[in-house]
Homo-oligomer: A and B are copies of this chain.
Amino acid sequence: MPRRVDHDQRRHEITDAVCRITVKGGLTAATFREVAAEAGVSVRLVQYYFGSKDQLLLVTLQHVAERATARLHRRLGAAGPTPRERLRAVLTSFIPDDDESREHTLMLVALHTARLVDPTLARKETDAVPRALQNTVAKLLREARLRPGVEPKREAALLVAALPSLAQTVLDGMQTVSQATAVVDYALDRALR
């Protein structure tokens, strides 16, 4: 049988290594050398696949965003059928309550921070997840019975704006999962009949 390298799997193994290193020491620690060692491949292979650190981080962001989106869809699939249950599933899916979601949150925070000074990361594609999330929340709000004064688009902007901070304060221990979830429930009580 001919040897067949699954390039896509290799890329995922390498971006997974970026995540494991970042969780321990931040993005600074994720040098090509460290990433190659963690992934068990050569530095040349990392360079071959990604070319630059910026490109490596951009693909890592895409892989993490795919996994966070898959988690959201699993949560939605397990939620009840009412708009309120579906909204709650979407909004709470970003509050980290297991190792997987803690890693997603930390990576998304780290990469969106790196965006602020890194032109490669500050690209349209990297806005895709927050924009899609805001549209999903606005759509679910339109299907719900809203209290007077609630505008779906603006309400979605407010709710989605609160999520990164709720996720981050759980991650850094400023509040618990149930405190952050209580803020989401309060916001839904205020918006829905």
Contact = CB atoms under 8 A, between A and B. Distances in A.
Contacts of A87: none
Q: How many copies does the complex hold?
A: 2
A173 B122 contact: yes
A110 B116 contact: yes
For chain A, what secondary structure do more than half of its interface residues adopt (helix, strand, loop), or is it mixed?
Answer: helix
Interface of A: 22-28, 106, 109-110, 112-118, 122, 127, 130, 147, 149-151, 154-155, 157-158, 160-166, 168-169, 171-174, 182-183, 186-187, 189-190
28 contacts: A23-B117, A26-B113, A26-B118, A27-B28, A28-B28, A109-B116, A113-B113, A116-B168, A116-B171, A127-B174, A149-B190, A150-B190, A151-B186, A154-B183, A155-B186, A155-B190, A157-B186, A158-B186, A158-B187, A160-B165, A161-B161, A161-B162, A161-B166, A161-B169, A161-B183, A162-B162, A163-B165, A165-B165
